[in-house]
Structure 1
């Protein structure tokens, strides 16, 4: 049986493969001629010169910013060597337009060079296949951060479930249902769409769905400023350390750590800064407000609700 490392390498080698035969009119497009043309090339591996004006960004793109230094280096490489790696697109809703699936950084480099056309492979993807292709490509990148991967998985699970709503809320509700079922029955013999959600999370991240729900989904409980910092690349452990400080200190702590884009100081440096700044533990009212916000976003089982009611009753009795 192939190892997990071998399975991941095999999956990465298939990035961008179309799951369906390509049946798209391309007669109006100019083919990109390879250095050594081959006979019988499959239509879905032929690249065409597509006008940049006919391209749309993907609505599923979950990488929040492009490294402008990397884009500039890529643009210089293209200008010097004319070495083209085609991007991947799919037909957009408007005839004659195409939606970028893979290659947003290459597209940015061509835009910087003010090129009129770009080589692209046209493939037929549904929404779930678009997200999966993006995730598999980004798994190969060293600069993809934890939040970006989590965002991609959350969107993939939400789209694959077929449920309407914001991806984070759909995924949180779906995994909450799975946790409730697991606690009630003691086994995870899920039906759809829960079975697909568990499979996708395991396959893409290599971690069980419960670990993803418990650890990765917690990032959405961070205050907006900390979520923004994590999106920009701040380690999640740093964000949690900042969250434990009084809310009034979050801005100063982020400035100290290196917001908005780093380089980031360490957690040990943050703790030393907090001691020197005489940062006190949050007041009880701040802690209760934080807990209240977290509870509003949680899905509790009946047993957990009963336990919470008891604790709230004790607190009310304590305060008279």
Structure 2
């Protein structure tokens, strides 16, 4: 079950700058011909659940569009859609001539941020697009490329782990000194400068592992995740970033909502593409549970291991047996020699030797 998100996606805590100067309807809705609205060149959302879109279309047929689309003016009479693509598509499907809109003057950066936030706070956004959307939003807020964000997050995580470890060790050392009463009263109250170890940890400039811009970047990252209210940035690094390393066929199934993330990670363990694709199709068609998927993958690995090892074991056993046979004393026993002769006849028959 997906977590509950805010019911007011356009009122996220994340600040999105825009300028509404000179617009008569900057905060109110008006009707606009649908053919005057165009889709943006870059849209953070690429997949729309057909069933959910069908339900929205039926709802709009009965009740109309309750929440206006957000658009921004372009050159001429055209306006670019910023938020509300599902309503836009449903209106096209129904054949509406006009739709309610709110017009805002937004630059490219603000428009894309607003579209990202609106999409990220939707209930039905799949985990792949959600992860990619968060990376895009972080890139905009940090002033970096999307490709630079994951390494930055991993670096911040390492620095935080180091700080946590050092603080823990130093606290242990301070407690130990206190218990042992190693510092005398005269030494503690003398004129010699004291070195407050805890103070050194609290001051990042005294930390040899400290990076000058890490604090600023960390505050921005924390602000983005606090504003979205979806998860912590630490959870995102641990559980979501690895998702993007999955094979493309698995990612596509996730994007289309055919598969849960936990199932996707299990199926991704199948290394061969053709076997993985066939297994993926069966898992989706039969709606296998996670435990069924794991069991079947385990059985496949066991079967493959048996096929690969059995011939080798037979050869090794035969070689070992013949070596022992040569050194054995059974050749002097007539009864055992007859048994060997029968076995030789069977082996010659199997190999076609006359």
TM-score higher than 0.5: yes
Q: In the alignment, is residue 153 of structure 1 matched against residue 134 of structure 2?
A: yes
Going from structure 1 to structure 2, the CA distance change for 1:265 and 1:99 (only over 3 Å counts) comes to: farther
Q: In the alignment, is residue 49 of structure 1 matched against residue 31 of structure 2?
A: yes
Normalising by structure 2, report the TM-score.
0.60
SS at match of 2:48: coil
Q: In the alignment, is residue 251 of structure 1 matched against residue 282 of structure 2?
A: no
How many angstroms does 1:201 deviate by?
2.7
User: Larger RCO: Structure 1 or Structure 2 (Cα < 8 Å, ≥ 6 residues apart)?
Assistant: 2
Of 251, 264, 288, 1:239 maps to 264
Alignment of 1:139-288 (within 5 A): 141-163=122-144, 165=145, 167=146, 169-182=147-160, 183=162, 185=207, 190-233=214-257, 234-248=259-273, 249-258=275-284, 264-277=287-300, 280=304
Going from structure 1 to structure 2, the CA distance change for 1:11 and 1:195 (only over 3 Å counts) comes to: farther
Tell me the distance in 1 between the aligned counterparts of 2:6 and 2:265: 32
How many angstroms does 1:237 deviate by?
1.1
Tell me the distance in 2 between the aligned counterparts of 1:21 and 1:218: 38
Native 8 Å contact 2:53 2:86 kept in 1 = yes
Native 8 Å contact 2:44 2:116 kept in 1 = no
Q: What CA deviation, in whole Å up to 9, does each residue of 1:255-274 have, x standing for no partner?
A: 1111xxx7842111112333
Of 69, 73, 76, 1:87 maps to 69
Tell me the distance in 2 between the aligned counterparts of 1:123 and 1:139: 20
How many angstroms does 1:124 deviate by?
3.1
Normalising by structure 1, report the TM-score.
0.66
Q: Which residue of 1 aligns with 2:338?
A: none
Q: Which residue of 2 aligns with 1:98?
A: 79
Alignment of 1:13-52 (within 5 A): 14=11, 19-23=17-21, 43-52=25-34
How many angstroms does 1:45 deviate by?
2.4
Native 8 Å contact 2:225 2:233 kept in 1 = yes
Count of residue pairs brought into register by the alignment = 253
Going from structure 1 to structure 2, the CA distance change for 1:18 and 1:63 (only over 3 Å counts) comes to: closer
Tell me the distance in 1 between the aligned counterparts of 2:227 and 2:28: 29
Going from structure 1 to structure 2, the CA distance change for 1:72 and 1:244 (only over 3 Å counts) comes to: closer
- Name structure 2 gaps, 5 residues minimum: 164-206, 306-354
How many angstroms does 1:71 deviate by?
2.7
Higher helix share: 2
Tell me the distance in 1 between the aligned counterparts of 2:16 and 2:140: 18
Q: Which residue of 2 aligns with 1:110?
A: 91
Between stretches 247-256 and 55-64, larger displacement belongs to 55-64
Going from structure 1 to structure 2, the CA distance change for 1:96 and 1:191 (only over 3 Å counts) comes to: farther
Tell me the distance in 1 between the aligned counterparts of 2:294 and 2:98: 52
Native 8 Å contact 1:127 1:159 kept in 2 = no
